[in-house]
Amino acid sequence: MGYNFKETMNKPERLAGGHRMCAGCGGTIAARNVLRGLHEGDHAVIGNATGCMEVSTFMYPYTAWEDSYIHNAFENAGATLSGVETAYRVLKKRGKIDDTYKFITFGGDGGTYDIGLQSLSGAMERNHDMVYVCYDNGAYMNTGIQRSSATPMYANTTTTPVGSKSSGKPQNRKDLAAIIAEHDVPYVGQTTFWKNFKDLHVKAEKAIYTKGAAFLNIMAPCPRGWQYPTSDILEICRLGVETNYWPLFEVEEGKWTLNYEPKKKLPIEDFLKKQGRFKHLFKKENEYLIEEFQKEVDRRWDALVYRCGR
C-alpha cells in the first residue's frame, strides 16, 4: 500500500465547505482526511452519530457530504451501518448492485465511548465490513462541554467544574482503542493530526480496505472545550504525541505495533499548559496534580510498550 502525500491531498473533497463547524475544529479535519483514504471510483455510505459534526454538516434537506449520508441517533450509529452493510452484501450477491461501496461511521466521543458503545461493540463483535471513526474531542461539546468517559482527568467541564471543592474531572479517561482491540477485530488504529498527516492517511486507507470491522480513534481537539486559539490545533496534537499522552499505534489481527516513539519525551505540562481547561493545574497548590497526571501517562505508555513487545 504505497503512499504519496501530494496525490492524497489532491483527491476530491468528499466533505464540502460551507458547513457550520467552528474554526479550528478537529472533527472536520478528521473526517476530510479519513475520506482521503477512499480509492478513486469507490463510493461510500457515511453514518454519523448525533453530535457536533451531524448538526453542523446536515440540515435537511441540505448536506455537506458528497457521499450517501445517514444521520443516526447518538446510540445506534454502529447498528445502522451494520444493517446497511449487510443489505449491501445481499444485494451484491444477487447481482442488483455492481458498484463498490465502503461503509464509514463517524461519531464523537459522547456517541462512541458512552451512549453508542453497545451498538459499536455489537458491530465490531459481528465483524461487519465497516469502519467506525471516533473524532475524540474529549467531552460532549455539542450540548455544552459536559464530561464524557473520554475526558482526561482534572479537565474543567460544565459538569466537572473547577472550584474550591473540585479540581475538575476526578477519573482518568477510558482507553477505548484498547477495548475495541480486545474485540479481536482485524484492524484498530489510533492517530491524530501530526506532521504531514501521513499517519492518519495510511491508517485510514488500511481501515477502509481491511476486510471486516475496523476502528479509528482520532484525537480531534475542540477550541471551545479545550480553550485554545484556533491556530494552535496542530501544535496541541504534536504535543499530545511527543508527551506520550496520545500515542500512535495500531493493532492488526491482534498484533500491536507502536508507530512512533519520541526521541526525547516531553513533560505532560507542555501539553496541558496550551489548554485553558487545565489552567488551574498551574496554581502552586495544584502542582501535585500534574505529577499525578504524569504518572498516569507513564503507566499507560509502559503498558502500551509491553503490548507491542518492546
Per residue of the chain (310 residues), give pLDDT as tens. Answer: 678 999 999 999 999 988 888 888 999 999 999 999 999 999 999 999 999 999 899 988 889 999 999 999 999 999 999 999 999 999 999 999 999 999 999 999 999 999 999 999 999 999 999 999 999 999 999 999 999 999 999 999 999 999 999 999 999 999 999 999 999 999 999 999 999 999 999 999 999 999 999 999 999 999 999 999 999 999 999 999 999 999 999 999 999 999 999 999 999 999 999 999 999 999 999 999 999 999 999 999 999 999 999 7
Say how many domains are in the chain.
1
The pTM of the whole model exceeds 0.85: yes
C-alpha cell, 232: 494552535
Hey, how many other C-beta atoms are within 10 angstroms of the C-beta on 288? 10
Q: Which domain holds residue 275?
A: 5-307
- pLDDT recorded at residue 1: 60
- pLDDT recorded at residue 17: 86
Spatial separation of the C-alpha atoms in residues 21 and 227, rounded to whole Å: 16
- pLDDT recorded at residue 61: 87
CATH number of the domain enclosing 137: 3.40.50.970
Continuous segment of H or E residues that includes residue 71: strand 68-72
CA distances from 89 to 5, 76, 105, 128 (A): 32, 20, 17, 10
- pLDDT recorded at residue 108: 97
DSSP state of 280: G
Interacting residues of 92 by C-beta distance below 8 A, sequence separation 6+? none
Spatial separation of the C-alpha atoms in residues 141 and 208, rounded to whole Å: 27
Contact between 27 and 53 under an 8 Å Cβ cutoff? The reply is: yes
Spatial separation of the C-alpha atoms in residues 57 and 189, rounded to whole Å: 25
- Degrees to nearest 5, angle at CA 139 with 61 and 245: 125
